[in-house]
A = this chain, B = another copy of it.
C-alpha cells in the first residue's frame, strides 16, 4: 500500500514495486499440483525484514486485560495440546496487479497462495488460562518484525475480536510441514487463523495483549480496509473470498510465461479452489474465455481449512484458447468475471484468464 489513501499507477511496475516483487514471491503455479505446498514454494509476503530470533531466549508474553500474565517458552508451548492441520493462506493483495488502475504495492498477479500443514497449540485454551477480564473485547497479536509504513515506525500488529480469538479455529503454530517454522514463515512462532486472508497470520509472534478498546493501529485502521476512490477507509478485510486457479497445462514460454501445448488432443485440466466463507460447492471451467462453462469434478476434500482439488476433461484443438475457472461456495458466493476494484487492491477474486496456444500435430 502507498500512503493512507493508497496511490495508483498504470500499467507498468515502478522500481519501488519491483523491490517488493524480487524479494517476496508467489506460488510457482505448477506447484498447485501438490495438495500440501513445499515450504520454499508457499507464497511469501514479508512486510518488513525477517527478524533474527534466538529460540532459547524466546518468550510468548500474554497480558493486558487478563486475570494473569503468562510468559511461555517454546518448550512450554510444545508441552500443551498439539493440533496439526492443512490450512490454505492467500495474501489479501492477491490479484492487485491485475486491477486497472493498479494500486501501488506488492504487485501480485494470481499466485499469492499456498497450503501448508501447520502444527501448534490452540489459541483459545491459552487465552482462557490467562483469563480475559470482563471488559476485554479484542486480542492484539504483535510480531517482532519492525519497519516504517505510512510514515509510522511500527512492529507488525493485528487484532482479532475476542469472539474470533476464542472460536477454536486459531492456532499458535511452531511447525510447518513437519519441521520448525522456516525463518521467513515466522520462526519460532506464528498465528494461524484458518479462512482469513494472510495478513491475519502474524509471524514472529511475541506478544498477545487483550484490549478493552478496539485496536486502532496502522494495519487495522489504515491498512487492510476496502477503500473507495474517495480515500475513506471502508470495511475491514477479513475472510477469503472464493477463488480457483488452474495448474497451467503444457509448457511455458520463458519470456512471457504463456502456455504452449505441444499437440492437440485430450488434456485433463486440474486446479484448486478455496473460500474462507463456506465450503467450496462448485467449480466451473471455460475453455473459450468465459463464453461457455462446464462443471468440474471435485476431488475429495483434504480438510475444511484447505483448498479443494478439481479436474475437468478437455479435448484441446489446435489454436488459441483462454482457460477460466470459477468457484462457488456453499454461502452462495461466486467468483466475479470482472475484478472488484478498491484503492489498495485487496481481495480481487476475479476469474483467472489463462491463454493457451495449442500447436498443430
Q: Which residues of A contact B (CB under 8 A)?
A: 1-2, 11-26, 28-31, 33, 38-41, 44, 46-50, 52, 97, 104-105, 107-109, 111, 146-149, 153, 182-185, 248, 251-257, 260, 262
A49-B28, A183-B31 given as contacts; is B13 within 8 A of A13 (CB)? yes
Residues in B whose Cβ lies below 8 Å from that of A262: 153
A148-B254, A260-B153 given as contacts; is B28 within 8 A of A23 (CB)? yes
Q: Which 8 A-B pairs have the closest CB atoms?
A: A12-B12, A40-B40, A25-B25, A13-B13, A149-B254, A19-B257, A30-B49, A21-B21
**Whole-angstrom distance from the CB of A338 to the nearest CB of chain B?**
18
Q: Is A40 a contact of B184 with CB atoms below 8 Å? A: yes
Q: Is A22 a contact of B107 with CB atoms below 8 Å? A: yes
In the complex, which residue of chain B has the Cβ closest to the Cβ of A12? Answer: B12
Residues in B whose Cβ lies below 8 Å from that of A44: 25, 40
**Whole-angstrom distance from the CB of A220 to the nearest CB of chain B?**
15
Q: Is A148 a contact of B13 with CB atoms below 8 Å? A: no
Q: How far is the CA of A183 from the CA of B50 in the complex (A)?
A: 23
A38-B183, A49-B28, A184-B28 given as contacts; is B21 within 8 A of A252 (CB)? no
Q: Is A23 a contact of B257 with CB atoms below 8 Å? A: yes
Q: Is A19 a contact of B49 with CB atoms below 8 Å? A: no
Q: How far is the CA of A11 from the CA of B13 in the complex (A)?
A: 9
Q: Is A253 a contact of B49 with CB atoms below 8 Å? A: no
Residues in B whose Cβ lies below 8 Å from that of A256: 16, 19
Q: How far is the CA of A21 from the CA of B253 in the complex (A)?
A: 15
Q: Is A251 a contact of B147 with CB atoms below 8 Å? A: yes
Q: Is B14 a contact of A182 with CB atoms below 8 Å? A: no
Q: Is B12 a contact of A255 with CB atoms below 8 Å? A: no
Write 17 A-B pairs (CB below 8 A) sorted by A numbering: A2-B255, A13-B13, A16-B255, A18-B97, A19-B257, A21-B21, A22-B26, A28-B46, A28-B184, A30-B49, A38-B184, A49-B248, A105-B255, A147-B253, A147-B254, A149-B253, A149-B255
**Whole-angstrom distance from the CB of A152 to the nearest CB of chain B?**
10
Q: How far is the CA of A52 from the CA of B39 in the complex (A)?
A: 16
Residues in B whose Cβ lies below 8 Å from that of A19: 109, 256-257
Residues in B whose Cβ lies below 8 Å from that of A107: 18, 22
Q: How far is the CA of A148 from the CA of B254 in the complex (A)?
A: 6
**Whole-angstrom distance from the CB of A356 to the nearest CB of chain B?**
13
Q: Is A254 a contact of B52 with CB atoms below 8 Å? A: no
Q: How far is the CA of A11 from the CA of B12 in the complex (A)?
A: 9
In the complex, which residue of chain B has the Cβ closest to the Cβ of A223? Answer: B254
**Whole-angstrom distance from the CB of A272 to the nearest CB of chain B?**
16
In the complex, which residue of chain B has the Cβ closest to the Cβ of A48? Answer: B252
Q: How far is the CA of A38 from the CA of B46 in the complex (A)?
A: 16
A18-B13, A260-B153 given as contacts; is B49 within 8 A of A252 (CB)? yes
